[in-house]
Every structure is written in C-alpha cells, then in structure tokens.
C-alpha cells in the first residue's frame, strides 16, 4: 500500500512464520459485523489458559526430541536455501532455530515426544518463505513470494531424509 514499506530482510527474519488467512466468507464477515453491534465482542472472551499453563506448554515443547537424522534433514533444507541458484538470500541460523521450534510444537500437538521429517517438511513453507529473496526482477511482491514458495516446495521435495 502507498505509504508503507517492506521490512528489511533482517527484520523479516525475526518473525517466526508468515501465514495468510485470506478473507472470511461473506457469511462469516456478516456475522463478524453483526457481533459488533451493541457491545465489544472482545469483552466476552474468556481465557483458555493462565500464565502457568502457557509456561508449562513452552517447557513441554522444548522437551520434544529431535533425533540426529531429523536435525540433519532440517539443516539440509536450510543449507539448500543458501545454495539454490534461484535465491539471492538463503535462510539464516535463526530460521534453523525457528523451524526446529515449530517442528517440536507440531509434534507435541500431534501427541508425540519426537519430531519427524514430516513435521519439518510441512512447516518449512511457513517458516522459510518470508525469509528468502529470489534472484531477478519481479513485477510485484506477490510474484516474488510465489517464486520463493515454489523454490521452497522444490527444496522440500528434493531433500532426502535419512
């Protein structure tokens, strides 16, 4: 939008993921509009966890095991972004840590105490795409994002697990 500027790479790298929810359906947007009539719906929100529960969940995520094979697969994905001919900027060490953390969280949510290659592969697009810069000129940020997403998909498809 006019008046806004894209974040520099170093600042984008600080965000763990980039997720687009898209627009709500017409019915959902109408319901959202109607819910704002008369009162602020935020005031009716009830907490689902307290601080202690959130801290326990964070500790539980950090206890999820990443095997040597899974760690090597994760690093191989990251390394491939740094050497891919279509990218001028690959993933940083921070991206490695964020992908590992997200993979641990996914494993825990799936009821496992260990990370699988599938956890890593499924989360790679959300964790990596916004951090990478494609080579060449693109007509829009959206075109560049699509190009990077295609490279990430290619890397995930072509990187072998042990």
| DSSP type of residue 110 | T
* 62 vs 55: CA distance, rounded Å: 11
Domain tally, the chain: 1
The residue segments making up the domain with residue 61 are 29-158
Q: Quick check: is 5 in a domain?
A: no
Q: What is the pLDDT of residue 140?
A: 63
Quote the pTM value: 0.79
Sign of the torsion angle spanned by Cα atoms 149, 159, 113, 57: negative
CATH of the domain at 102: 1.10.8.80
The tens digit of pLDDT for each residue in 46-94 reads 999 999 999 999 999 999 999 999 999 999 999 999 999 999 889 999 9
């Amino acid at each position: 939008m006019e008046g806004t500027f894209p974040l520099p790479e170093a600042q984008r790298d600080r965000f763990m993921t980039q997720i687009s929810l898209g627009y709500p359906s017409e019915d959902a947007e109408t319901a959202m509009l109607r819910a704002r009539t008369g009162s602020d719906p935020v005031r009716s929100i009830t907490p689902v966890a307290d601080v202690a529960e959130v801290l326990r969940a964070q500790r539980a995520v950090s206890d999820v095991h990443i095997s040597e094979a899974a760690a090597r697969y994760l690093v191989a994905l990251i390394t491939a972004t740094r050497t891919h001919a279509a990218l001028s900027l690959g993933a940083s060490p921070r991206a490695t840590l964020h992908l590992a953390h997200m993979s641990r969280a996914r494993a825990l949510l799936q009821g496992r105490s260990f990370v699988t290659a599938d956890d890593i592969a499924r989360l790679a697009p959300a964790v990596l795409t916004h951090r990478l810069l494609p080579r060449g000129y693109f007509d829009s940020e959206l075109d560049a994002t699509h190009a990077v997403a295609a490279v990430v998909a290619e890397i995930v498809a072509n990187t072998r697990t042990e």
